[in-house]
Amino acid sequence: MVAAVNLRTKRIIVFVSLALVPLAFVCLLQYRAGAGAVESALRERAAERAARMARDVTRVLSIQEGRLLELARSEAVRRYALEHAPAAGAQTSNGPAPSPAASVEEAFRAYAAPNLNHIQALTFIDGNRQAVFRLNRSPDGKSFVAQTTDLVVGHARHEEGVWAERKPEVLRSPLSEESYGAALRVTAPVYAPAVVEGEAAPAGAVVAEVRLGEVISEAGEALDTSEGSARRPVVALDNAADNVVYHTNGAFTHQTASGTMPYFAEVAARMKAGGSGSGLYDTAERGTQLAAFQQVDGLSLSVAASEDYAAALAPVRSAALVGGGLAALAALAGFALLLLAATRETRGIGIVARRASAVAAGDLEQRIEISHSGETRELAENFNTMADRLREMIAREAESRQFQSFMRISAMVTHDLKNAIAGLSMLVSNMEKYFDREEFRADAIQSLREATEKLKRTAARLSEPALSLSGEYRLAGRPTDLVSVIRRVLATNAEPTRPLNEVVARLPETLVVTAEPERIENVVENLVINALEAMGAKGGRLTVEAGKVDDDLHNDYVFFSVADTGVGMSAEFIRTKLYRPFSTTKNKGIGLGLFTCKEVVESHGGRLEVESSPGAGTRFRVVLPSRLFQSGEGRRRPEKVTASIE
């Protein structure tokens, strides 16, 4: 059940990672591509609107300036300038200015009438920089009223640079805020009659006050009318100040941009910095908007046209949601079909998993029967084949282990028989020489009795193989006098070799170890016989020592050692082959003696050490525990330690 749940979870993860995630990514890319196309189109359209508005404002102002130059060049205006020259003006300085000729007023009205919405006032400035005639727009905005008296200083505002002009050019003053809105003063020089332009200073000037907000408003209305769409927001800012020159929403006009439109601050800063561009801003009423801005040539003025970014993007967003939803439904339908097909296979996989668990638990008779076809059927067939081969392999492995155990037991028993036969051979050889001695015959009978018991034990090991393998079965240890065991082995195997070999025994009176006596005796016997064989026919000195381990950390251990003066062994042989079964340096033997000794010593909790040099002899040292250790009692395995004889 857990495997099925995990498999179902994995399917969901795979479906999400390989289907839904890529699908969502594709939908996101499509949405971004659509949004990018819409935004690009909006930026292009807004930029075109802003550029067209800037061109329209420039065009209207150019027309006004051209017509103002025509007015300044008219014969009536030039004569009027001559009449109000400084010399003539001095004669009448204490009285009111004479009434202008009808032709001058007619010329002013002819200029102002077609521009009723654009012109706030026309003023004539004489050579004394005084306003002497003014044509004002009426309060109702339907006509103009002439004024020659009660003219104030403010009416004489104009561009001072006009008096230095030697050619007919129109000069623009900075934008200003008037009671009627943003104003642009345009000044044209007026030269006296018969004066060639460029040869004398102007005799007067004509100033036109242009209603800049009306010019921008008409440009925006003309733009929306030509596109046949609803009016969209238009903003004009004075670059030299923080003033809104014009806004589609009249409530914002004549206000500060930072105070009335904080959401527009970033775009406004870019507008006042000059140049052109576009940017997004957010409003509470209409959401995200896109504004493109453009500078008006010759003016410190920027105009911006806005497009409804949120409304334009809504269809793209809706299309992306619909497309994503349909794609997700299609993917879910495919997943349902996949889940239906996979569930069928999951049942088979569950059966295989349960059978595999049973095999892992040791039941090798499991088989799987699946009727339907598919990947699970092939898996079941492979599982059945694997189970059959596993049963065969286990059977062969059991046979092989039994055969190896038998061979090992046979080799070990053969080795013990060889040692027993060697002892009997020595006894027989000595009997020929010393049989007439009573004490020898008594010792010989005792030796024969012990040899017979040993052969019986060896034969018994063949019928009880588990007791024969020290590494697989450990007998219960008991307190044993190690000295008596050593003396018995020396009497049987070493003493008969005198006087060929010198036998030296440095042994205490008693030395108790916790061990199985027969096995420890086999270890001592193996080491003694190996030492005698290593010295060979030349003879030598056999030294056997025993005692307690002289170390506070190992005071619960005893040792015995067997040393010879034989041929010795190389360090390489000791490191790689000494304790390996069937490895030996002797011409005769099967190489199991030291392997068996090491297993017996280690099974008793001891350690077997060796010191040897080629040509100098060998010394084997066995360290064994002198008492039983309780369960859970800390015990340190003996390392190479020093020893003393008591």
Percent of the chain with pLDDT over 90: 13
Q: Low-confidence residues of the chain, pLDDT below 50? A: 1-4, 88-99, 228, 466, 468-473, 630-635, 641-646
Domains of the chain listed by start with CATH number: 470-644 (3.30.565.10)
Instruction: Please write the tens of the pLDDT for every residue from 563-586.
Output: 999 998 888 888 888 877 655 655
| Total length of the chain | 646
Task: Output the pLDDT for position 345.
Answer: 64
- The Cα–Cα gap between 556 and 627 comes to 7
- Strand extents, DSSP E, 158-315: 171-172, 176-178, 181-190, 204-211, 234-238, 244-247, 277-283, 287-295, 301-307
- Residue 639 near residue 645 (C-beta atoms within 8 A): no
Overall pTM surpassing 0.85 (yes/no): no
Show the DSSP H helices in 113-230 as ranges.
212-227
Task: Output the pLDDT for position 635.
Answer: 47
Task: Output the pLDDT for position 563.
Answer: 95
For residue 281, the cross-strand partners are 289
DSSP letters of 461-519?
HHH-GGGT-TTT--PPPEEEEHHHHHHHHIIIIIGGGTTTEEEEEE--S--EEEE-HHH
The torsion region of residue 641 among left (phi > 0), alpha (psi -120 to 50) and beta comes to beta
Chain centroid to CA 113 = 75
Task: Output the pLDDT for position 166.
Answer: 77
Of 303, 188, 167, the C-alpha closest to 234 is 303
- The Cα–Cα gap between 535 and 216 comes to 127
CA-to-CA dists, residue 570 to 582, 598, 612, 640, angstroms: 17, 19, 7, 20
| β-pairing verdict for 540-549 and 181-190 | unpaired
- The Cα–Cα gap between 499 and 489 comes to 17
